[in-house]
Amino acid sequence: MGTEITLKDVWFHYYPQTESRENWAVQNVSLDFQQGEYVSIIGSNGSGKSSLACLLNGLFIPTEGAFCINGQPITTDQDRWELKRRVGMIFQNPDNQIVAPSVVDDIAFGLENLGVSREEMKYRIPLVLEQVGLSGLEKKEPHHLSGGQKQRLAIAGILAMQPDVIIFDESTSMLDPDGRKHILRLMDELHKSGITIIHITHQATEAFLAERLIVIHQGRIMMDQSSKELYANATLLDQWGLDVPIGILLHQALRDKGWKLSEKMESEEQLVSELWTSM
């Protein structure tokens, strides 16, 4: 059946009584996420993207508006607890989301919370370790892992819970280039396996790896387009304090210099291909 997430006119603020509505973290957001989508939510610091992520996982409760899963409103604590199995979340700092003193026990933590049987845990844990490339490190203590390995451990902990949706909340921002590549590749693989990926980031180059891009600025949704559409209008990102991907800047600079390139570019691959044929 999968998990379809719907936010309808959602407003959120940590202290709604003290702030005027223009300063709320999330303002009048209406979004739909279909099963199997690969979506990036992009915004500068303080734009409200992490608050939005926490709303999607049930960690925060909308101050106003409706939050539904497969059309059913999420209202009770029990609803929100059950949501945690369907919608997993990976945080920014790999160190602050590992609970147990060993790899295998940390993966088991979420399963124990869900009340999964020991036999089922013994079946699932080696599978997810294999999936994230941490086989053989079962007994390792977390502080002996690299940043990238810690983040993969966090992903394994969520994968073992067999979610339909995984939210990556700036999960690559504290990693070295290798660790980052590994996580992005893993996101792509998970998406191909049918899991909905929601990638919260402020890195435009990473965001464009998704099929759909949502731009959030000062708590409001400014754009919600396919990445191909947004790639063609990517210079708009600049007004919301976001970096324009280098490929787009290069495309414009070359066109200004008189290179015969398409007016609108849909991807970096297209740019490379056109450059190759024009040389």
Cβ proximity to other proteins, 140 vs 255, nearer residue: 140
The yes or no reply on residue 89 touching other proteins (CB under 8 A) is yes
Angle at 34 between CA 55 and CA 155, to 5 degrees: 60
Residues 6+ apart with CB under 8 A from 168: 90, 183, 187, 197, 198, 199, 200, 201
The yes or no reply on residue 81 touching other proteins (CB under 8 A) is yes
Cβ proximity to other proteins, 73 vs 101, nearer residue: 101
Angle at 184 between CA 164 and CA 195, to 5 degrees: 15
Q: What is the DSSP letter of 241?
A: T
DSSP bridge partners of 167: 89, 198
The yes or no reply on residue 84 touching other proteins (CB under 8 A) is yes
Cβ proximity to other proteins, 99 vs 272, nearer residue: 99
The yes or no reply on residue 14 touching other proteins (CB under 8 A) is no
How many residues of this chain bind other proteins (CB under 8 A)?
41
Cβ proximity to other proteins, 87 vs 209, nearer residue: 87
Radius of gyration, CA atoms only, the chain: 20
Calculated CA dihedral for residues 82, 84, 87, 90, nearest 10 degrees? 180
Window of 4-12, 26-34, 100-108, 205-213 that interacts with other proteins by CB under 8 A: 100-108
In the complex, the smallest distance separating the C-beta of residue 51 from other proteins, rounded to whole angstroms, is 12
Q: Please report, as residue ranges, which positions from 44 to 63 form the binding site for other proteins (by CB under 8 A).
A: 54, 57, 59
Closest by CA to 228, choosing from 207, 246, 249, 250, is: 207
Q: Given the rule CB under 8 A, which residues bind other proteins? A: 54, 57, 59, 81, 84-85, 88-89, 91, 93, 95-102, 104-105, 108-118, 121, 125, 139, 141-143, 154, 157-158, 161
